[in-house]
Chains A and B, each alone.
Chain A
Amino acid sequence: MSQLPPGFDLLTDDRDSAVLQLTGDWIQGQTHRDFQVLKDELCCLTAPELVVDGSRLGRWDSILMAFLLQSYNQCQEDNIRFTTRNLPDGVNQLLDVATAVPPHAPSAASSPPWYNALSPARLVNELRHHGREALAFLGELSIALWRLALGRANTRFSDFRQFCYQAGPDAFAIISLTSVLVGMILAYLGAVQLQQFGAEIYVADLVVIGMLREMGALMAAIVMAGRTGAAYAAQLGTMQGNEEIDAISTMGVSPMEFLVVPRLLALVVMMPLLTLYANLLGIIGGGIVAGGMGIAPLMFISEGESALGMHHLIVGLIKSVVFGLLIAVAGCRSGINSGRSSAAVGQAATEAVVTAIVYLIVADAAINIICQQLEI
Chain B
Amino acid sequence: MSDPHIQIRNLTMAYGSRVIQQDLDFDINRGDIFVIMGGSGCGKSTLLKHMLGLLQPRQGDILYNNESFVNASPKQQDSMRQRWGITYQSGGLFSAMTLAENVNLPLQLYTSYSDADRADIIAYKLALVGLAGYQEYYPSEISGGMRKRAALARAIALEPEILFFDEPSAGLDPISSCLLDDLIEQLHDSTGATVVMVTHELPSIFGIATNSVYLDASSKTMIAYGDPKQLRDHSDQPVVRQFLARESGSLQEEQV
The CA of A70 and the CA of B126, in the complex, are separated in Å by 13
Task: Please give the number of chain A residues whose Cβ is less than 8 angstroms from any Cβ of chain B in the complex.
Answer: 32
- What's the nearest-Cβ distance from chain A to residue B105, in Å? 15
Contact pattern, B 57-100, Cβ under 8 Å of A = 1, otherwise 0: 00000000000000000000000000000000000000110000
- Specify which chain A residues have a CB less than 8 angstroms from the CB of B183 in the assembled complex: 97
- Specify which chain B residues have a CB less than 8 angstroms from the CB of A4 in the assembled complex: none
The reply on A341 being an interface residue by CB < 8 A is yes
- Point out the residue from B128, B130, B136, B140 that lies within 8 Å of A94, measured CB to CB: B128
The reply on B243 being an interface residue by CB < 8 A is no
* Chain B, interface residues (CB within 8 Å), range: 20 to 34
Binding site for A on B (CB under 8 A): 95-96, 111-113, 116-117, 120-121, 123-125, 127-128, 130-134, 136, 138-140, 159, 183, 186-187, 189-192
- What's the nearest-Cβ distance from chain A to residue B146, in Å? 10
23 A-B Cβ contacts within 8 A?
A: A28-B113, A62-B121, A62-B125, A66-B120, A66-B124, A69-B120, A90-B191, A94-B128, A94-B191, A96-B186, A97-B128, A97-B183, A98-B124, A101-B131, A102-B132, A104-B131, A104-B133, A105-B133, A106-B133, A106-B136, A340-B140, A341-B138, A343-B95
The 4 lowest CB-CB distance pairs between A and B, nearest first, are A104-B133, A93-B190, A66-B120, A103-B132
Give A62's nearest chain B residue, CB to CB: B121
- Point out the residue from A34, A104, A339 that lies within 8 Å of B134, measured CB to CB: A104
- Specify which chain B residues have a CB less than 8 angstroms from the CB of A93 in the assembled complex: 186, 189-190
- Specify which chain B residues have a CB less than 8 angstroms from the CB of A341 in the assembled complex: 95-96, 138-140
Residues facing B in A68-113 (CB within 8 A) are 69-70, 89-90, 93-94, 96-106
The reply on A307 being an interface residue by CB < 8 A is no
- What's the nearest-Cβ distance from chain B to residue A243, in Å? 13
| Interface contacts beyond A70-B120, A94-B190, A101-B131: sample of 10 additional A-B pairs, CB < 8 Å, sorted by A | A34-B116, A35-B120, A69-B123, A90-B191, A98-B128, A98-B132, A104-B132, A341-B95, A341-B96, A343-B95
Task: Report yes or no: B191 in contact with A28, Cβ–Cβ below 8 A.
Answer: no
